[in-house]
Amino acid sequence: MNIWIPALALLIILLAVMLLRTLRLQKKPQGISPIAKTQASGGIAEHLSEIVRIESVSKTNPSPEDLKAFLRVHDWIAWTYPQLSATLKMEIINSYSLIYEWTGTESSLDPVLFNAHMDVVPADEDTLDKWKVDPFSGEIRDNAVWGRGTLDMKNQLVALLESVEALVAEGFTPRRTIYLAFGHDEEIMGFHGSKHIADALKNRGIRLAAVLDEGGMITEKMLQGVDDPVGLVGISEKGYVTLALSATGKPGHSSMPPRQTAIGTISRAIALMDDNPMPARLDYLLPTLLSIGYLLPFGLQFVLANTWLFKPILIKQISKSNQLNALIRTTHAATMMESGVKDNVLPSRAEAKVNCRVLPGDSIEDVIGHFTKVIDDPRVIIEVDADSGGWEASSVSEIDTPAFRTLNLVIRQVFDRVAVAPFVFLAATDSRHYQPICSHIYKFSPLQTSSEAREGVHGINEHIQINGLQKMVVFFQRLMRVWGEAEF
């Protein structure tokens, strides 16, 4: 009896501590005053419609005619935004990308850069009959602009241009220099566009105080039980590498096969990879969830506040969701396989490609080492695919900085006190090219949209609501004023 009393007391103390840790997550952020509302402008919608009609599709091997589309974008900007064109210094980089310099009044302040890209992906010809409009018509209907690029990301391009045009018209001049950078090949990795822009700035000795590029949006129903929208700001992005797996076999007649052909060897290797993924880590998802702790159900709050105990359970549950699982580990996906010449001939070689998205903290070398150990078969050669190459995960930008705090504030002001959370962006953006000259890179597209509408990105019936487009302009105007004036 004497033994159980101290044990019970310790258990009560432990539960009390765990509950106190949970209660801390229920603290709401300090309230802020929203900025004045503005009405949607039909002119903005028409401008987005016009640039959608310019088929600036990026291609790996573009023809001269393909590239002329970007020159038409240049001409369109000059014609559509005369005050911006007269005030900002424009420079063409590597023939087709653009950078605009809005010179500030205080050269001692490092510049900030707002990024967008002019290129879009093509519309799959096999899906054209499923589109409500021609993908490059820019049709305006149902209070929305329709067409390729309306979400990715001519919307952000137009919103930035509209914002600067309006601020110039008002007579605003920033204290710090503001750059607008528009690459022409983001959809094919940005090596000819934004990479050249970043190199040009670096060669001039320019260090950027902050960069804002496309990324997370105002996301609805982020988690089960969370109905409130959340503004997700990317503070890093995953790395990218495609692994080429190959195995050889002895060709011959299929009527006398060995125990396993080259195809079987590669198939077994892929199955082993699927059964043994890269280890999960909560390093980056946990800060995301803790930032919105006050919105979460009590049970999840209790688990998050006490991960020292519940970490295995949490990882197991998170891994059941494809989207959340991608936030806690380096993922892999077998995407291509090639082998054989005829159905009755043993293949002399089998090849497969496995695309991996590398979580910050892992490296390409780690990925190769992990799967080499998992497959444990000298017959299987694992190499970085020569055609796709790869790059490491980007560095992680801090959130305890004036740049992020003011970004957080503006998001909450414009989007009705929405919760804001940092996260690792799963896709690739042009902003990674600016890492050599900037430590504070944030990936956020100021748009509140449904998950169904987001399926239009690179998909079918891409469109944006006009009031959402207008709100993007309100956001950028506000952030340009704040970042343009703040000392950091």
- CA dist., res. 33 & res. 51, Å (int): 35
* Burial zone of 430 (CB within 10 Å; 0-12 exposed, 13-18 middle, 19+ buried): buried
Residue 109 · residue 211 · CB < 8 Å: no
Extract the runs of DSSP E, i.e. beta strands, from 79-152. 89-93, 97-102, 112-117, 140-141, 144-146
331-339 and 239-248: which strand pairing?
Answer: unpaired
Tokens (6 digits) for 124: 């799959």
Residue 413 · residue 33 · CB < 8 Å: yes
Around Cβ 395, how many Cβ atoms within 10 Å? 15
- Which among 101, 119, 165, 430 is annotated as catalytic? 119
Strand order, beta sheet including 144-146: 140-141, 144-146, 463-465
The separation between the first and the last C-alpha atoms of the chain, rounded to the nearest angstrom, is: 63
Question: What backbone phi and psi angles, to 5 degrees, belong to 51?
Answer: -75, -25
- CA dist., res. 442 & res. 403, Å (int): 9
Q: Is 186 a catalytic residue?
A: yes
- CA dist., res. 273 & res. 161, Å (int): 46
Residue 184 pairs in a beta bridge with none
Place of tokens 């960069």: 211
Instruction: Name, in order, each residue with C-beta under 8 angstroms of 457's C-beta and a sequence gap of 6 or more.
Output: 151, 152
Residue 407 · residue 425 · CB < 8 Å: no
Instruction: Name, in order, each residue with C-beta under 8 angstroms of 243's C-beta and a sequence gap of 6 or more.
Output: 332, 353, 354, 355, 356, 367, 368, 371, 382, 383, 384, 385
- CA dist., res. 433 & res. 6, Å (int): 59
Instruction: Please name the residue ranges forming H helices in 25-124.
Output: 42-52, 64-80, 82-87
Tokens (6 digits) for 189: 């990795």
Around Cβ 450, how many Cβ atoms within 10 Å? 11
- Which among 101, 162, 165, 186 is annotated as catalytic? 186
Q: Which residues of 285-317 are buried (b: 16+ CB within 10 A; e: fewer)?
A: bbebbbbbbebbeeebbbbbbbbeebeeebbee
Q: Is 119 a catalytic residue?
A: yes
Name the residues annotated as catalytic.
Answer: 119, 186
